[in-house]
Structure 1
């Protein structure tokens, strides 16, 4: 249980708050690359409580600028892409991707006003289908050599979704291995030909046991939490028999992501990115170690739940998450259908716009959440004191952050520690694109 002041410290992310200063030390997902493709490659972006405009100019270069035109503060997200930049429709002022003012066409001939005008711009890069921006001061950090960034385009797929609550409670659901046995309980196991791209539907590695069955029949895992140089490794053990144990390895990538297995051949790296204090987006990169990703199928699956252009969920707080009491009594555990994104969304949004952690009572299964909060507070204090917090990497340090390993398999009850590492190594060495070595051992 936290005090109100402690809860504010770890949840509030505007630029004048300590956690806001911390999060501005990192690259932040700002949009999917697909959102700035086509004829009108301009998107408004609200990120960490600030308003921006993202655009791709006629040459394909990305720009990320403050959203209000420096002339009379009109909205640049309604601008025109022309003449090598983004033009404000109010008076025609034109800005390039670096924020330089190229033209002020309504000014008298010979005016040099534009030479003195500069719109604030931010470093922006595209990685694995996501556009990242750096909002902090000074030199931007290096990207770590994570699988999702090393894998070539055919082997990654990116998507996102809007969540109507604070970023931290959205992130914390991924640190809780126990909830899946209840919130994501399925009464029947599906055929494997329908499992592609769907969480908890595939069989666990080295077995013919679907994850749905493991979660349903073994609801009380032993949980181990290990500190790493990138954050936390969380291992959930469900003993099936004296000789075999289900092992699930997931990770917290500080400060805002978790890395989890989708299947024996695919992982999910998912960031939780504040729009403001009371809403956020999840951004995910699905990375395949086996075959190229079927992006058309993956996108179609997810667009059944989300609407364009803002990736808003089709069900949510506004329609009780599709809850049907008859369905809950007779067909599904939650009464909210079979998509686990809906289940997670209900769980975290029902905690309130910002969870009141003064009212919670944590248990043994929450040890990952407890460890992360301590890590977060320590990093907030470091950033406030001008120190370099965890995962603000220089180029040399970035090469040592590998993987991280994830897996979901059935191995020996005695010797599971070596088993999961062997499974990760086998999958990694078998990946057609893998050439960067194995995960760094702690």
Structure 2
């Protein structure tokens, strides 16, 4: 049983909190690159309880600054993008992407006030269609050589969505293999040929059995959890017969992401990023090993459920998640439509803005969740001792953290341990970019 203090330690992310100090040691997704498209590439953003402004200047440089102007704290998100930086609309103070004050135009001629003024700026980088921020002091860690960062732009697609709850409970649904047989159960199967971009709709590798049937008919997976360089490898085994077993390999990418198969061709790497303690965004990079991603189709599928500019779900708490009692009887286990993001959103938001883990009772199927919480506690203690936590990598170590391998297939009951690496190897052999990365 978890104590209230342990739960606070896991869920609080503001400056000075143990969890907040840990998460600040990593690059955090802060916006999709497409959010800075258009005539005025300026976005207010909130990350780990801090209010910031993100912009791209006329030269294409990214800047991330504290949102309140250091003059009299007006909102820089409404500033003017001009003259090499972002200019406050209150008195015209101008700041470049590094936070340097370039002008204080209301001051007397010859004033050097701007030489003494600096707005706090944070490192930013662009990878995989996402803009990333680093909020701690010192040198940021290196990006690991994950598939989603190694693949070319043509083979990745990024999207995000808002969830109104704490980041950790949103993450934990993604490392829980057992829930899929219930929360994502469909009473009828679809044509696998129409499954592009949809989770749990394709057939498993080396089989024509749809994943929906596997989940529906075999709801008691044996779950194996083992340490991996990136965090945890999670294997769910559903025994179909004496000779065949469904094998699904997923991963926790510490501290905030999971990597899972979408189909035989595509994987999802998804981060859960605190806006504050009661809200988070999921950021996903879909990575294709074969053909380039159909980005138009993927975006249209997701915009059917999310509204711009804030990527808020169209179906959610405000309209009872689209619940339909008739549908629950005949078509889906939840009665909440066929998009699994809605199912997951209900599951984690219904736990409250911040789940009270003192009231939960973990079961054997929750072993990955328990293992991840132990990793988080140990990493917080490492930061408090002044040590480098897991996955806060230097350049040398980052090149060795690759993949991670994911798969979903039906293989032999005896020898499944050899089967799944072979499926991953075959997929990589068929991906030109993966072969080049390995050479």
Aligned mates of 2:324, 2:243 — CA distance in 1 = 41
Once the two structures are TM-superposed, the CA of residue 193 in structure 1 deviates from its matched residue by 2.6
Instruction: Give 1:341's aligned residue.
Output: 341
CA RMSD across the alignment = 0.8
Contact kept in structure 1, 2:186 and 2:331, CA below 8 Å? no
The answer to whether structure 1 residue 362 and structure 2 residue 365 are counterparts is: no
Instruction: Give 2:182's aligned residue.
Output: 182
Instruction: Give 1:191's aligned residue.
Output: 191
Aligned mates of 1:191, 1:289 — CA distance in 2 = 22
The answer to whether structure 1 residue 131 and structure 2 residue 134 are counterparts is: no
Aligned mates of 1:284, 1:432 — CA distance in 2 = 22
Instruction: Give 1:38's aligned residue.
Output: 38
Once the two structures are TM-superposed, the CA of residue 155 in structure 1 deviates from its matched residue by 0.2
Aligned mates of 2:203, 2:19 — CA distance in 1 = 39
Once the two structures are TM-superposed, the CA of residue 430 in structure 1 deviates from its matched residue by 1.2
Gaps of 5+ in 2: none
Aligned mates of 2:348, 2:385 — CA distance in 1 = 32
Q: How does 1:330-409 map to 2 (within 5 A)?
A: 330-409=330-409
Give 3-state SS (helix, strand or coil) of 1:424's partner.
Answer: helix
Aligned mates of 1:54, 1:269 — CA distance in 2 = 24
Instruction: Give 2:267's aligned residue.
Output: 267
Aligned mates of 1:244, 1:216 — CA distance in 2 = 17
Instruction: Give 1:70's aligned residue.
Output: 70
Instruction: Give 1:112's aligned residue.
Output: 112
The answer to whether structure 1 residue 15 and structure 2 residue 21 are counterparts is: no
Instruction: Give 2:280's aligned residue.
Output: 280
Per-residue CA deviation, residues 238-280 of structure 1 (Å, 9 max, x unaligned), is: 1111111110000000000000000011000000000001000
Once the two structures are TM-superposed, the CA of residue 107 in structure 1 deviates from its matched residue by 1.1
Contact kept in structure 1, 2:188 and 2:331, CA below 8 Å? no
Gaps of 5+ in 1: none
Once the two structures are TM-superposed, the CA of residue 385 in structure 1 deviates from its matched residue by 1.4
Aligned mates of 1:241, 1:330 — CA distance in 2 = 28
Q: How does 1:61-100 map to 2 (within 5 A)?
A: 61-100=61-100
Instruction: Give 1:295's aligned residue.
Output: 295
Give 3-state SS (helix, strand or coil) of 1:178's partner.
Answer: helix
Once the two structures are TM-superposed, the CA of residue 432 in structure 1 deviates from its matched residue by 1.5
Aligned mates of 2:258, 2:331 — CA distance in 1 = 31
Aligned mates of 2:395, 2:429 — CA distance in 1 = 25
Once the two structures are TM-superposed, the CA of residue 320 in structure 1 deviates from its matched residue by 1.0
Aligned mates of 2:329, 2:264 — CA distance in 1 = 33
Instruction: Give 2:419's aligned residue.
Output: 419
Aligned mates of 2:198, 2:125 — CA distance in 1 = 29
Give 3-state SS (helix, strand or coil) of 2:44's partner.
Answer: strand
The answer to whether structure 1 residue 437 and structure 2 residue 438 are counterparts is: yes
Instruction: Give 1:214's aligned residue.
Output: 214
Give 3-state SS (helix, strand or coil) of 1:425's partner.
Answer: helix
Q: How does 1:223-238 map to 2 (within 5 A)?
A: 223-238=223-238
Aligned mates of 2:343, 2:207 — CA distance in 1 = 27
Instruction: Give 1:316's aligned residue.
Output: 316
Aligned mates of 2:265, 2:298 — CA distance in 1 = 15
Give 3-state SS (helix, strand or coil) of 1:286's partner.
Answer: strand
Once the two structures are TM-superposed, the CA of residue 332 in structure 1 deviates from its matched residue by 2.0
Aligned mates of 1:270, 1:210 — CA distance in 2 = 23
How many residues are aligned here? Answer: 438
Once the two structures are TM-superposed, the CA of residue 322 in structure 1 deviates from its matched residue by 1.0
Once the two structures are TM-superposed, the CA of residue 158 in structure 1 deviates from its matched residue by 0.2
Give 3-state SS (helix, strand or coil) of 1:135's partner.
Answer: coil
Once the two structures are TM-superposed, the CA of residue 437 in structure 1 deviates from its matched residue by 2.3
Aligned mates of 2:438, 2:59 — CA distance in 1 = 36
Per the normalisation by structure 2, the TM-score is: 0.99
Give 3-state SS (helix, strand or coil) of 1:375's partner.
Answer: helix
Which ranges of 4 or more aligned residues in structure 1 deviate by more than 3 Å?
Answer: none
